[in-house]
Chains A and B, each alone.
Chain A
Amino acid sequence: MADYTAVPLRRYYAIYTAGFFIFILVLAVLERYGMPARWIGYSFLFLTIFLYATIGVLARTASVAEYYVAGRRVPAIFNGMATGADWMSAASFMGLAGTLYLSGYQGLAYVMGWTGGYVLVALLLAPYLRRFGQYTIPDFLAARYGGNPARLVGVFATVLASFVYVVAQIYGVGLITSRFVGLQFEIGVFVGLAGILVCSFLGGMRAVTWTQVAQYAILIVAYLVPVSILSYQVTGIPVPQLTYGLVLQKVQLLEDRIFDDPAEIEARRIFRERGDGYYEKILTLPASLDDERLRLTEQINELKSSNAQMRDVVALERERRELPKNSEVARSYWDKLMRQAMQRGAEPEHHVTPFPTGGEAVSDTARLNFLSLVFCLMVGTAALPHVLMRYYTTPSVREARSSVFWSLLFILALYLTAPAYAVFAKYEIYSSLIGSSIAQLPVWVSAWGKVGLVSIEDVNGDGILQLVELALNPDVILLATPEIAGLPYVISGLVAAGALAAALSTADGLLLTIASALSHDVYYKIFRPDATTQWRLVVSKSLLLVVAVLAATVASQKPATILAMVAWAFSLAGAAFFPALILGVFWKRANAAGAVSGMAIGLLVTIYYMVRVQVDAIPWLGIQGIGMEPWFGIQSTSAGVWGVAAGFVTVIVVSLFGQPPSQETQEFVESVRYPELDGS
């Protein structure tokens, strides 16, 4: 087919990108002439979704190979771009810069983990999966480990890790549309759903691939433009990745000055005192809860009798209403507030300081957590099915190898920029926001304050903004950068379009992965091996629709717990797949019993650790007091460290106790390892 050779493709996408730039320029000019911000938001939203829909419809297909693996004809460079878009989610696009802003060096664990995982993909997985050349990851597990038990565990882990992840993407779409276009959150979620379905419904992997390439172009332009302009304004050179080292030095000087400012020290002390207050209350439960209620009632009565403002009375009444119902709830509620207050009152860390400096033990635990998070993110990257599946789509093993290179190159364009975002934002905020009068803060502070992403509390009552008095949600760093740099609204619209592209492209890939696992692995391979090609596609498309609607329904409930669970997806995927996949290629002796038990144990250990470290009680199951101290202080997001280790040990031990795999399986391993050589 003509559209699969690289040269015309490059031309199409070059024209497309140029067209997108012209579109931005036209909007910029229209904004000059008074086009309202809301219309600019609408133009970006609907034009980009229309674009993706067009590609989705043009790439419709009725062939199974096209539907699942894009006909295995995607050139390496385009597969790299599609993988980039597939990989970079709403969290990478919106959250990473903010995480780096808030946690400095510690945040680099994400940069290293999410890029270093591709080394494992390139060296240990992609070429072998491509040589195997089927459709899904459970396909590989079934072929290597003789049949359906391995396939089913694989399907279970695929659906578990991907569904949590896809809900978070659709949630992200809802946030973006509600913030930038002013749609209601629930409506935004379903607009996003439509945007996802037009890409993947008719054309499967083939359509998803080509829309992802288009989405990559938009998201990377949207990510680079604001920070490049900011870099130009601050340093005169529009290459933020190179210039932010110098800005970082300025930030350090600012930090020195701000951290030692007497007003800052005073504000931090007030926060610590507040934390002590909560601690006191927790110790004196349940009496303290009654005292609290009494105190509020007295205040309310006093205000009422003194003719005070109605607003103040209402606020206090709400506070009384929202007091914890019993001492158990009060304990965890106050404990959370105490931790928050203590954290804000703690000695601040410099942006570049690796691992907190508060004593050797604290610092060593932080280092251990940093290293284990890097490990989990890397192994998870090399085990997430929606990423691995993309390497089935290249024309050859050789292209699969270079395709990983292109993937990482395109991904680095964003990940090398994220730390620069953090540093430039920090420079702007520290140099012009901190220390200014709270009554005269720039417009963006109050605008983002309204949606709860920025909050300011003048604890020491001096009317001046201290650093500790400013609380930022991580997302705001990226979203507000255009406004911080004083750029026109069209750039904000562009950023929103980029965030939308990042969320939609990842959601597409994930949905397709879930639908393939259910339709191909469960329905076709296990229940109806005699199903016709046409029927298989019908089943796959219906499942895609069902899963998509299900995910959107869950997302529209704004599930806070699901969002926290996204970080867990990496540990889950890593523990379930990594040992079985790696040993499947590199250790012929691994057998079916070993792999199935290894995957199951890996998953169970990970889930066990996460649940017990993270939660203390599951009210709807009537379980209480299951919380435990983390082992070696490792946080629940890095639970995969234990899961992966347990997985490897189990696969090896159980395999050694059982029979070696059959001759047939051994030959299968050889066929995955070696190309057809002359003279064999």
Chain B
Amino acid sequence: MRLGRRQRDYWQRNLRMTAMLLAVWFVVSFVVSFFARDLAELTILGFPLGFYMGAQGAPLIYLVIIWWYARYMNRLDREYGVGEGED
């Protein structure tokens, strides 16, 4: 099959969003943990920030990333007219 311009467009936008969200994922997982010792000074809800990020912050941000991606892609699907035969 020959790729249409719309398809290439759709894929580019998907890739851009994926890369952006992966960057957030990377920072939250690895950069923040790397500096955990330095973040111990700040506190949030009684937790040192470094500990809080590992225990709750990062997992909750992961959840938001996944939610955001599903929402974005489902909208993109609708914009490009691919309902895939459901509501």
Interface residue ranges, A against B (CB under 8 Å): 105, 108-109, 111-112, 115-116, 118-120, 122-124, 127, 241-242, 245-246, 248-249, 352-355, 363, 367, 370-371, 374-375, 378, 395-399, 401-402, 404-405, 408-409, 412, 415-416, 419, 667, 670, 673-680
Contact of A118 among B45, B46, B66, B82 (CB under 8 A): B66
Q: Are B55 and A119 in contact (CB under 8 A)?
A: no
Q: List 30 A-B contacts (CB under 8 A).
A: A105-B50, A108-B54, A108-B55, A109-B54, A112-B29, A112-B33, A112-B54, A116-B58, A119-B21, A119-B25, A119-B66, A122-B66, A127-B73, A354-B33, A354-B40, A354-B54, A371-B30, A398-B77, A404-B70, A405-B67, A408-B62, A408-B63, A412-B60, A416-B59, A673-B11, A674-B10, A677-B4, A677-B10, A677-B80, A678-B80
Closest-by-CB residue of A relative to B72 is: A401
Interface pairs A-B: 8 shortest CB-CB? A245-B46, A108-B54, A354-B36, A680-B4, A401-B70, A675-B82, A115-B59, A122-B66
B47–A401 CB distance below 8 A: no
Kindly name the residue among B48, B54, B55, B59 whose own CB sees the greatest number of chain A CB atoms within 10 A.
B55
Whether B37 contacts A355 by the Cβ 8 Å rule is yes
Interface size class of B (residues with CB under 8 A): 35 or more
B28–chain A nearest beta-carbon distance, Å: 8
Q: Which residue of B lies closest to A416 (CB)?
A: B56
- Among A105, A109, A353, A412, find the residue whose CB has the most chain B CB atoms closer than 10 A: A105
Secondary structure of the B side of the interface?
Answer: helix
Whether A355 pairs with B46 at a CB distance below 8 angstroms is no
Candidates B4, B22, B55; contact of A419 at CB < 8 Å: B55
CB distance from B66 to the nearest CB of A (A): 4
Closest-by-CB residue of A relative to B1 is: A667
Contacts of A412 in B (CB 8 A): 59-60, 63
| B84, A116: Cβ atoms closer than 8 Å | no
Minimum distance in angstroms from B39 CB to a CB of chain A: 8
B14-56, CB under 8 A of A: which get 1 and which 0?
0000100110010011100110110010001111101110111
Please, which residues of chain B bring their CB within 8 A of the CB of A111? Answer: 54-55, 59
Query: Contact between B36 and A401 (Cβ–Cβ < 8 Å)?
Result: no
> What does the 1/0 interface line of B62-87 toward A look like (CB < 8 Å)?
11011101100110010011101110
Chain B residues near A399: list those with CB within 8 A: 86
Contacting residues, chain A, for B54 (C-beta < 8 A): 105, 108-109, 111-112, 354
In the assembled complex, which residues on chain B have CB atoms less than 8 Å from the CB atom of A409?
Answer: 63
Contact of B70 among A112, A122, A352, A363 (CB under 8 A): A122
Residue of A at shortest CB range from B82?
A675
With both beta carbons as reference points, the residue of chain A lying nearest to B63 in the complex is identified as: A408
Q: Which of B40, B65, B66 contacts A352 (CB 8 A)?
A: B40
**A666 → chain B closest CB, angstroms:** 10
Is there contact, CB below 8 Å, between B70 and A405? yes
Complexed CA–CA distance, A370 and B47 (Å): 20
B51 CB, nearest partner CB in chain A, Å: 5
Residues in A neighbouring B50, C-beta threshold 8 A: 105, 352, 354
C-alpha spacing A84/B82, complex, angstroms: 29
Q: Of the candidates B11, B36, B46, B63, which one forms a contact with A246 in the assembled complex, judged by CB atoms under 8 Å apart? A: B46
Nearest A residue to B8, CB-CB: A674
Q: Tell me the minimal C-beta distance from B55 to chain A in angstroms.
A: 4
B36 touches A115 (CB 8 A): no
Cβ contacts under 8 Å, A123 to chain B: 18, 21-22, 25, 65-66, 69
**A349-B4 Cα distance, complex, nearest whole Å:** 60
